[in-house]
Structure 1
Amino acid sequence: MALTFTDLIEVDLDKLGTAVSDWKKTVDALKTSAENASKGMQAKSDSAHWAGVNATVTREFITKTTKEISDLHTEANSIYQVLNDGHTELASLQKQIKNAVEVDAGNLGIRVEDIGEGKVRCFFPHVRGDTDERTQEQLDAKQELEGRINGILAHAAEIDASVARALSKSHGNDANNAGHSNYESLNDAQAERALELARKGDKMSDAELQEFNRLMRFNGREKDGEFATEFYQGLGGPEKTLEFYAAMSINGTDADASKVRLDAVRDLQKNMGFALANATDPDTKHHLPSSWGDDFRRLGTQQIGWQKGQWNKPYGYQVLGGLLRYGNYDPKFLDPIAEHVTQLHKKDPYFFLNNKPMGQEDIYGFNPSGSLGTGNDPLNSVLEALGHSPEASEKFFTQPPTAYNEDGTVKKGGDPGFNSYLDVFTDKDFEWTVDTNDTNVLADEDKTKNALTFGPEALGHALESATTGRPYDDDTGDAIKHTEARAHLVSEIVDKFGENPELIRHNENGDLEDQESGPLYGMRDSLGDITAEYMGDFQRAMYKEDPNSDLFPTFGAAAGLDTGHAARFLGAVGQDPDAYSAITSAQQAYTSEVVDHVINGGSHSTASLDGRVGDVVAPGSAIAGIMSDARADAIYEYHAASDTEFNEAAAEKQKWVDRILGMGIEKVGERIPIAGAPLEWASEDIQESIMKSIEKDTTTEAEQEAGKQYTLGRDAAIDSAQAAVNNALVNNPHINSDTADDLRRAARTAAGVSHTDGAQWNSESDAN
């Protein structure tokens, strides 16, 4: 019977704690007895001169008795360790679930209902007179809470089952024979069970595979790395790891596999990836030796087989790439692999693709997730790995490259032939491959175009994590102060694409034959997020703000962007709907903060307040002008997006409002919590203003043909600037109405002029 919500909420774990204490006393007593038996009667027996029957029967009896006492101590210690760990983990989960119900659900006005089978349902109870209409934010919060509580219940059920299984094995169900399975921790027992299931390979039933996934999911990411390390060691080494994962991946993605099996193998890919990242982290208490990284590189260019008579064998990197797509990997493990794969690809882009399966209905390769390619070209996989591994990606892009031989060993004294991986990937002649197993893909232009964006999109993810210090898809992670290395990398990125915007151009207009799409337009979404993260640096660049200025603060080290490059970079990146929305959201949030700082913060300036307000509104408005022009270019010049796509992208990128406000302009510390951080600002008001401005920032085709008149976009920028002043005035009751009107007027005027500046800069750069 499944552990229920009511069970976990109401169970008195103090009783289990008392049992743990009693077992500890038993262990200590048996340890003393075992030591006494060994040093006492066993030692005397060994030194005695036995004769006759005593020489055999009595001596054997004493030896057996001593062993039984020792075995009793071992069994008792095993039971104690398992119960102690189980009690600790269940107590933690009980605390979490009580907090979720009593605090989180209460604050949200949500009720939690036990529906049995280890599941709950969260809902908003009806209140008389209430319309029962809920915002999307409320519905999302309800769904998140329900998922979190059900996750806690599933974890508790896994611990309950693991403890019961471990106790049974420790005892052995034999009252006359002590000493069976011996565990030093609950992790030992859980790793043992995971390995028992893994040895069945693709013969695991769906139920067994789900159990395996639960064990990996709840234990593989534990901070001490004990379970993850024991599991991978138990598999038998790097080659056995690749064989097991390859077999399971193919089993779940086979054309005959059920949806249940495919979903389970997708979970396996994710769970094994996170566990591998944990096990290969040298900073965890328990971890695999560094030789695992060496072996994976050696196996990377060797074919891996897991069945007798197998004729189509993948290379090690094609298999390993599936695991690397999940988890935050240590740079000592990941970077050598990423460098090796990149150098192999640079030398021969088809080294791995020439080995992809032929004549099989295999659409996933060794990437059951189905995201960004099959992994037959492992370059996409290692770039995704870097996208989830900020420390590794920062070092990969900012430190001198190391040359590797084809077998994965370091080429001593070797020169890789380039100075940085950013230079390698942004070289116009770098060849990105079509990493898909779709049939007849080369005969389908749309499929080919789509597949050719997988690599650049993964590259964008890698650069995003390298410059922000967090995994690219971690929307709620702490904001981490920009280091000199990360900020300098942003400057290099802006220079690269500011000088060569054609690299990220996306053109679907057949009439513009001389303006082909660039190879890297698929990464513009990430470039937009990087821009949003470094909004202070971009605002500084618009009107060449002094590097020592405290009026437009940066979040850590300053990037020192070139004004011309920054403007052209923004014009190219802003043609992507997602990037446009991220930049617009961050720009308006940041502008709101600096306006508030000018109006409500302290200053020794003798300049007029209205003039200073106009000055801080100007850079953001110039960026808004560039965005207006870029949006029009994408829609009318390049036919690469529609107004609808720009408007629909806005909602997803509202996350940047809370992130920018959470980062603040006067926060201290290297890490600033974002999730759940109390915001002094009216975040919802700013988000509403942004949504309105994005929907308003549109140009008709007639206006475009008449010379790009951005009346509505300019109006949106003016409205946004005035809204920033209004938000700031809420916090300052000492400013009279006449002064407030002057400040609004100054903001509107500066916004209108600067929006025109920005649009004109971008139009002029388009013409050049």
Structure 2
Amino acid sequence: MALTLTDLVEVDLGKLATSVADWKKTVDGLKTSAENARKGMQAKSDTAQWAGVNATVTREFIAKTAKEISDLHTEANSIYQVLDDGHTELVALQKQVKQAVEGDAANLGVRVEDLGDGNVRCFFPHIRGDTDERTQEQLNAKQELENRIKRILSHAAEIDSTVARALAKSHGNDAHNVGHSKYESLNDAEVERALELARKGDEMSDAELRELNRLLQFNSSEKDGEFATEFYQGLGGPEKALEFYAAMSIDGTDSEATKTRLNAVQDLQKVMGYTLANATDPDHKHHLPASWNAEFRRLGTQEIGWQPGQMNKPYGYQVLGGLLRYGNYDARFLTPIAEHVTQLHKEDPYRFLSNKPAGSPDIYGFNPSGKLGTGNDPLNSVLEALGHSPEAAEKFFTQPPTAYNEDGTAKKDGELGFGSYLDVFTDEDFEWTIDTNDTNVLADEDKTKKALAFGPEALGHALEAATTGRPYDSDDTGDAIRHTEARANLVRQIVDKFGEHPELIRRNENGDIDDATGPLYGMRGSLGDITAEYMGDFQRAMYEEGSSSDMFPTFGTAANLDPGHVQQFLGEVGQDPDAYAAITSAQQAYTADVVHRVINADGVSGASLDGRVRDAVAPGAAMAGIMSDSRADAIYKYHTAMDTEFNESAAEKQKWVDRILGMGVDTVGQRVPIAGTVIGWASEDIQESIMTSIQQDTTTEAEAEAGSEYSSGRSQAIRSAEDAVSRALVNNQEIDWKTADDLKRAARTAAGISHSDGAQWNSESDAN
């Protein structure tokens, strides 16, 4: 039976602490007894001159007695170590669950109901007179709390069952014989159980597979890497690890697999990936040797089989790719693999697709998650891996490439014929594959386009991680990370590449417009996130602000973007609803912060404020103009999106408001924490303003046909600029109402003019 919330909250762990202390005394006493037996009677027995019966019976009895005392010490020490670690873990988990139930739930106004069997329900109790209406933020916080409590209970249950199993194995079933399984820590027992389950392979029951997943989930992130390393070593080496995962992924995605089995295998993919990332980090105290990396590369082009007489065998990279999709991998492990796979793909894009199954469900394969392909093409997998591994991604895109042989060894003095992987992927002749098992995909144009965009979308994720220093799907409340020279230079290269060749990311669904369509439009969402991250750099470029500007600060090293390329880049990227929303959210937050600092700066007189406010709102308004025109292009010119898609994308971009404001809180340290900083002064207000702007930034079909760059987006840009001034004046008692009106007027005028500028720039670039 699973642990309940009541069990964990109310259990008296003080009794367990007393038991741990008693066992410690027992261990110390038995250690002394064992040493005395070994140095005393055993030593004397070994040197004595025995004769007759004593030479056999007595000597054997003494040796057996000394061994039993030593075994008693071993057993007692195993019991003590397991109990001690278990007690420490349970105390920490009990503290966490009490904080969640008694602290966090109370702060949210939420009650927690114990449903038993490890389940709980969090809910807002009805209060008389209350409408019971909750914001999405409140509902999200409630759900996060409920999920967190369930995870804590699941972890506690895993500890409890592991301790119980280890104690039973330490003692054994023979009352007359001691010294069975030996454990130096609870970790030893957890690894033993995980491997015991893994050795069953696809014969594991659903319950056993869930147990294995829990063991990996709760131990895969240990800072010293001990569990992760011992688990992978226990599987028997790189090839055996691949064989195990291959068998499990196919078992879970087979057409006859149940939904329960598929869900469990999807979880296994994640936790095995996280565990491998931990085990392959050379900076951890415990880690796999570098030979594993070399062996994985060697196996990458070799067939992997796990059944006798197996005919259709996958290549090592196809299997490994499924694991690499999850986890933040060290660059020394991942970057060489990513380089090798990319070079193999460039040489022959279809070398890994010759053995893919046909006619199976799209979920079938070594990527049970089903996200961005079935895992047949390892290029998609390693790009997605880079998207979760910022350090590896940065080195992959910014350092000189290394040439690799077929077997994954570095090619001495090898010539690659290209200078960077950004150049490789953006070459018009680079061929992306369709990573799906569907036999009818080529006959279905929509399916083909969707599958062909998997690789470019993963490429966008990799570039996003490389330029921001964060996994592309990292926690929205994560720290803002200052831009390094390497990252900023990469952003400039990206903007130059697509600003000069916007057709690479253009999406034309009409087919009757003579505009080239590129294969990389699937990465525009990530390009929008990169733009949002570097908003200061983009705003500088709008009116060619100097590199020494203090009005539009960058967050770290400046990217020094080319203004012409920026305008072309934004015009294409802004046609994607997600990119449009990210850029609009970041732009309004950044402009609000600039206006706030301008108006509330020390030593600035009212007479000089008008001009500074105009300057502060102009770049953001120009960007808004480009976004308005790009949105109209997407809807009416290329028919790639609808108004509803642009509106719906706005709800998910709150992170950019908090992140941009967080960048402005303190630009001194290497990392600026978002959580806990004073950004609440405007966050919710700005987000509401953004939602209004996006929902009303529309152009009628008649306006679009007339080539008008004006839309209600211009009115929204004007309103947004005025709102920024009003927000900045809230706590300023030194500016009188007349000056305040002047400042609002200046903001409105500048925003209107600049929005028209931006829309016109974009329209003119469309015509060229």
SS at match of 1:113: strand
SS at match of 1:112: strand
> What does residue 497 of structure 1 align with?
498
> What does residue 658 of structure 1 align with?
658
* 1:616-670 C-alpha deviation (Å, 9 max, x unpaired): 1111111101101111111111111111111111111222111111222533321
What is the deviation of 1:360? Answer: 5.0
> What does residue 702 of structure 2 align with?
702
8 Å Cα contact 1:303/1:316 also seen in 2: yes
> What does residue 253 of structure 1 align with?
253
> What does residue 582 of structure 1 align with?
582
What is the deviation of 1:270? Answer: 0.6
> What does residue 509 of structure 2 align with?
508
Separation in 2 of the partners of 1:631 and 1:32?
80
> What does residue 227 of structure 2 align with?
227
> What does residue 622 of structure 1 align with?
622
Separation in 1 of the partners of 2:462 and 2:301?
23
Q: Which moved more, 1:570-579 or 1:56-65?
A: 56-65
2:599 corresponds to which letter in structure 1? I
What is the deviation of 1:428? Answer: 0.9
Structure 2 CA distance for partners of 1:605 and 1:435, relative to 1, 3 Å: farther
2:718 corresponds to which letter in structure 1? I
Q: Which moved more, 1:8-17 or 1:526-535?
A: 8-17
Separation in 1 of the partners of 2:552 and 2:24?
61
8 Å Cα contact 1:593/1:665 also seen in 2: no
Spell out the pairing of 1:267-666 with structure 2 (5 A cutoff): 267-358=267-358, 363-474=363-474, 475-512=476-513, 514-603=514-603, 608-666=608-666
SS at match of 2:725: helix
Separation in 1 of the partners of 2:148 and 2:676?
15
* 1:15-54 C-alpha deviation (Å, 9 max, x unpaired): 2222222222222222222122212221111111111111
8 Å Cα contact 2:253/2:364 also seen in 1: yes
TM-score of the superposition, structure 1-length normalised? 0.98
8 Å Cα contact 1:661/1:681 also seen in 2: no
* 1:133-177 C-alpha deviation (Å, 9 max, x unpaired): 111211111111101111111111111111111111111143322
Separation in 2 of the partners of 1:232 and 1:763?
57
2:499 corresponds to which letter in structure 1? G
What is the deviation of 1:733? Answer: 2.4
Separation in 2 of the partners of 1:16 and 1:193?
23
Structure 2 CA distance for partners of 1:361 and 1:730, relative to 1, 3 Å: closer
SS at match of 2:568: helix
Percent same amino acid at aligned positions? 79
1:616 corresponds to which letter in structure 2? A
8 Å Cα contact 2:537/2:554 also seen in 1: yes
Q: Which moved more, 1:166-175 or 1:611-620?
A: 166-175
Separation in 2 of the partners of 1:81 and 1:677?
42
8 Å Cα contact 2:358/2:438 also seen in 1: no
Separation in 2 of the partners of 1:241 and 1:677?
44
Separation in 2 of the partners of 1:299 and 1:707?
57
SS at match of 1:456: helix
Separation in 2 of the partners of 1:484 and 1:404?
28
> What does residue 12 of structure 1 align with?
12
Separation in 1 of the partners of 2:35 and 2:417?
66
What is the deviation of 1:678? Answer: 4.4
SS at match of 1:115: strand
8 Å Cα contact 1:274/1:328 also seen in 2: yes
8 Å Cα contact 1:555/1:665 also seen in 2: no
> What does residue 39 of structure 1 align with?
39
1:565 corresponds to which letter in structure 2? H
What is the deviation of 1:445? Answer: 1.1
1:309 corresponds to which letter in structure 2? G
> What does residue 145 of structure 1 align with?
145
SS at match of 2:354: helix
* 1:252-296 C-alpha deviation (Å, 9 max, x unpaired): 000011100100100011110100101111111211111111000
Separation in 2 of the partners of 1:676 and 1:732?
24
> What does residue 166 of structure 1 align with?
166
Separation in 2 of the partners of 1:210 and 1:419?
46
> What does residue 673 of structure 1 align with?
673
8 Å Cα contact 1:338/1:382 also seen in 2: yes
8 Å Cα contact 2:665/2:678 also seen in 1: no
* 1:81-100 C-alpha deviation (Å, 9 max, x unpaired): 11111111111111111111
* 1:337-364 C-alpha deviation (Å, 9 max, x unpaired): 1000000000000111112124655642
Separation in 2 of the partners of 1:39 and 1:601?
80
Separation in 1 of the partners of 2:495 and 2:23?
63
What is the deviation of 1:711? Answer: 3.6
* 1:403-442 C-alpha deviation (Å, 9 max, x unpaired): 0001111111112221110110011110000111012111
> What does residue 194 of structure 2 align with?
194
Q: Which moved more, 1:253-262 or 1:62-71?
A: 62-71
What is the deviation of 1:589? Answer: 0.5
Separation in 1 of the partners of 2:3 and 2:665?
48
What is the deviation of 1:552? Answer: 1.0
8 Å Cα contact 1:715/1:752 also seen in 2: yes
Q: Which moved more, 1:11-20 or 1:93-102?
A: 11-20
Separation in 1 of the partners of 2:673 and 2:195?
38
SS at match of 2:554: coil
SS at match of 1:608: helix
Structure 2 CA distance for partners of 1:461 and 1:603, relative to 1, 3 Å: farther
Separation in 1 of the partners of 2:17 and 2:610?
66
> What does residue 185 of structure 2 align with?
185
1:153 corresponds to which letter in structure 2? L
Q: Does 1:176 align with 2:207?
A: no
8 Å Cα contact 1:506/1:640 also seen in 2: yes
Q: Which moved more, 1:758-767 or 1:273-282?
A: 758-767
Unaligned runs of 5+ in 1: none
Q: Which moved more, 1:91-100 or 1:149-158?
A: 91-100
> What does residue 128 of structure 1 align with?
128
Separation in 2 of the partners of 1:382 and 1:718?
44
Give the count of matched residue pairs: 767
8 Å Cα contact 2:499/2:566 also seen in 1: yes
Separation in 2 of the partners of 1:598 and 1:446?
49
Structure 2 CA distance for partners of 1:618 and 1:381, relative to 1, 3 Å: same
Q: Which moved more, 1:582-591 or 1:47-56?
A: 47-56
1:587 corresponds to which letter in structure 2? Q
* 1:681-721 C-alpha deviation (Å, 9 max, x unpaired): 22111111000011111110111122224241110000000
8 Å Cα contact 2:666/2:672 also seen in 1: no
SS at match of 1:432: coil
1:501 corresponds to which letter in structure 2? P
2:495 corresponds to which letter in structure 1? V
> What does residue 244 of structure 1 align with?
244
Separation in 1 of the partners of 2:661 and 2:108?
22
Separation in 1 of the partners of 2:580 and 2:521?
13
When the two chains are superposed, the root-mean-square deviation of aligned CA atoms in Å is 1.4
TM-score of the superposition, structure 2-length normalised? 0.98
Structure 2 CA distance for partners of 1:533 and 1:361, relative to 1, 3 Å: closer
